[in-house]
Amino acid sequence: MPFTPIHMGPGILIKSLLQGAFSLMVFGWTQIVMDIQPLIVLLTGEGHLHGFTHTYIGATLIALVAALSGKYLSELGLKFLGVAENGSSVRISWWVTFTSAFIGSFTHVLLDSIMHGDLAPFYPFTDNNGFLGVITVATLHKICLYSGVLGGVIYLLLNKKMFS
């Protein structure tokens, strides 16, 4: 699922629950970074579609890269979008950045493990993917969609003062 927005559903729910302790921008950036390797495979026809980047060891490395690059990209994006308090720039703490990137990369592997048979999330310890097929792909997509809707509602309810 290169660059799929479906991964953002759980991220929106997590954002609604953790509020300022989670960056949806960094989470989203991590989703993109996670799928660069599969995109290259799709474009070139060379390599393993869900290779090392879609293991938990690979996801750890991806989270580090995504956090280090995503903090500044997200702050720049938020500035560009005009999201700031009192006209100042939005700053994302390193703690929030790394938390968001790790949640992003680990949930990405988990979600993809449920629907893609070529994943080995615990490689090199085992090639077994015990998550494959625990629920149907249709159910997985519904869970992701509904978690995003629920997260959006919770976020709006908790932040309704900004709309009054």
pLDDT digits (tens, 9 = 90+) for 54-68: 999 999 999 999 999
Q: What is the DSSP letter of 88?
A: P
For residues 6 and 121, which has the higher predicted lDDT (pLDDT)? Answer: 121
- What's the confidence (pLDDT) of residue 1? 46
Which tokens sit at 80? Answer: 């560009």
List CB contacts of 57: < 8 A, sequence separation 6 or more: 123, 124
Residue 9 has pLDDT above 60, yes or no: yes
Residue 70 CB-density burial (10 A; 0-12 exposed, 13-18 middle, 19+ buried): buried
Q: What is the pLDDT of residues 16-56, one digit of tens each?
A: 999 999 999 999 999 999 999 999 999 999 998 899 999 99
